[in-house]
Structure formats: structure tokens, C-alpha cells
């Protein structure tokens, strides 16, 4: 067997057994803060530190795509002061991480409905996306004001609009590939591994189409405590699973 790169040797997972695309439901910021006797915003601030740790670890482990569920379309039900803080935290993250994203050659994707976000946040999104436009390394995909059902609705609308404008477009030609191309994640591979922190056993309206065959890993670790070692544990667990995609398990040899 070909010797693994040094950064994979300490993970002890052959390159062919690691996931190419990891998606993460980052949960537990509020519970972590409550357990520490701190305000919820402190949990969100610590959660950003975990984002940095996981992003760096994914680069170290040779992951091609990392998708993070940053803000769901349902999160607007939270108290106004918390939402205001989250918007400012997001803006500062986009500003503060911009140089590092460029230095590390990270590609950036942002998925979700951006129209509801404050204009200053949208402006920083555009500046960071432009700064990363020529990068060729790992893709960091941020799901912001994202909901999988709204993504599917937007995809259906785009196909209907295409059919209205293009007389040559036949509805009978719509297949899985056509739908893939109509989603926010068009051009990205489907996640191989979905991680959820904090022990909740829910998908929470995240990438419902894309995770059809993803392996799901749930950990009781709260997101502010999730880092490189926790990610390595998830990848180790993933590497031991048999992905049959509807087939049968290969007999042992």
C-alpha cells in the first residue's frame, strides 16, 4: 500500500476510506453556555473557535469539502437581541477570516437565502467570496439562512422558470442530475458524512436531498467543545462503516 501523507498517518485512516465531503450540524452552543453559567452569546463566540479548529483539521486530514450549518431559516424565531449578535458575529467572522481563507487557498461557498440578511453582512459576504474566487483548495461551504425545504422549493421554481423560457426543455427529461443542478449546492459532491453535535437525533431541515446516502454520526459533545480530536473520532467511525448504497455486504475473504 502507498505510504500515507504525514498528515493522515496520525489519523490512522487510509486516504481511500476518509470522507470527501463532511457536513456538520453545529449544535449545543446555548447548552454549553448554560452549563458554564454564561450568557448564550458566550456559547456562540466559543462556537466560532470550534469552526476554526474543525476547518484547520479538515485541511490537515485531506477533506475536500466542509459544509457548516451556521444559521437555519428557523433560527429567526430566536430573541431579537440574540439574532442581532449572531449577525454581528457572522460579519466579524467574514472580515476576520478573509485573509486566512486566502492564505490557506480555501474556496468559499455560501448557500441559503441571503435576502433576509442585513446589507452590511451581505456586503462582507461578497467581499470574502471575491477574495476567495481564485482559490483552488478545500471548499468551505457556509449554510446561512438555509433550509432544505426552501432550497427544494427554489429549485422547483428555477426548473419551472427554465421550462417557461425554453420551449426545448422537456419536463420528461428531469432526472436526479437535473435536480442536483438546480440546488444551492450545484457542483459540489454530496456529503459522505453528516456530523451532529450535542446528541440530538434530528436532521433539522439540513441538506435533505444531498444526504440521502450520507453516513450519520451523532456525538454528545457540545459544539464549543468539538475540535480536532472529536473530528478524528468521527472520521475513524466513518472509515469502519460499509457503504452499500442499496446493495449487499461483500462477503469476507
Q: Given this model, what pLDDT does residue 59 score? A: 97
Return the domain boundaries, the chain.
21-146+189-194+210-237
- Percent helix, strand and coil across the chain, each to the nearest 5: 50, 15, 40
How confident is the model over 101-111, as pLDDT tens digits?
A: 999 999 999 99
Which strand ranges, in their side-by-side order, compose the sheet holding 65-72? 107-111, 139-146, 65-72, 21-25, 193-196, 215-218
Beta bridge partners, 35, equal none
Q: Given this model, what pLDDT does residue 12 score? A: 86
How confident is the model over 196-247, as pLDDT tens digits?
A: 999 999 999 999 999 999 999 999 999 999 999 999 999 999 999 988 776 6
How confident is the model over 157-202, as pLDDT tens digits?
A: 999 999 999 999 999 999 999 999 999 999 999 999 999 999 999 9
Beta bridge partners, 218, equal 196
- CATH for 21-146+189-194+210-237 (3.40.50.880, 3.40.1180.10, 3.40.50.1000, 1.10.1060.10): 3.40.1180.10
Q: Among 169, 167, 187, which Cα is nearest to 177's?
A: 187
Q: Given this model, what pLDDT does residue 243 score? A: 80
Which residues are known to be catalytic?
27, 75
The pLDDT-based confidence of 6 (bands split at 50, 70, 90) is: very low
Amino acid at each position: 500500500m502507498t505510504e500515507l501523507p504525514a498528515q493522515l498517518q496520525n489519523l490512522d485512516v487510509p486516504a481511500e476510506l476518509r470522507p470527501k465531503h463532511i457536513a456538520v450540524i453545529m449544535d449545543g452552543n446555548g447548552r454549553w453556555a448554560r452549563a458554564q453559567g454564561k450568557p448564550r452569546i458566550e456559547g456562540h463566540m466559543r462556537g466560532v473557535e470550534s469552526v476554526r479548529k474543525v476547518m484547520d483539521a479538515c485541511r490537515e486530514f485531506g477533506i475536500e469539502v466542509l459544509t457548516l450549518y451556521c444559521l437555519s431559516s428557523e433560527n429567526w424565531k430566536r430573541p431579537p437581541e440574540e439574532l442581532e449578535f449572531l449577525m454581528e458575529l457572522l460579519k466579524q467572522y467574514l472580515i476576520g477570516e478573509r485573509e486566512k481563507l486566502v492564505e490557506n487557498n480555501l474556496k468559499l461557498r455560501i448557500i441559503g437565502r441571503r435576502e433576509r440578511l442585513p446589507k452590511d453582512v451581505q456586503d462582507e459576504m461578497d467581499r470574502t467570496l471575491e477574495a476567495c474566487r481564485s482559490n483552488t483548495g478545500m471548499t468551505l461551504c457556509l449554510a446561512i439562512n438555509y433550509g432544505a425545504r426552501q432550497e427544494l422549493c427554489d429549485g422547483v421554481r428555477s426548473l419551472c422558470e427554465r421550462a417557461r423560457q425554453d420551449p426545448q426543455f422537456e419536463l420528461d427529461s428531469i432526472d436526479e442530475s437535473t435536480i442536483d443542478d438546480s440546488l444551492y449546492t450545484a457542483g459540489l459532491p454530496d456529503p459522505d458524512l453528516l456530523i451532529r453535535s450535542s446528541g440530538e437525533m434530528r436532521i433539522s431541515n439540513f441538506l435533505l436531498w444531498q444526504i440521502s446516502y450520507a453516513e450519520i454520526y451523532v456525538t454528545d459533545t457540545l459544539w464549543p467543545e468539538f475540535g480536532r480530536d472529536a473530528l478524528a473520532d468521527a472520521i475513524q467511525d466513518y472509515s469502519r462503516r460499509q457503504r452499500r448504497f442499496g446493495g449487499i455486504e461483500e462477503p469476507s475473504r
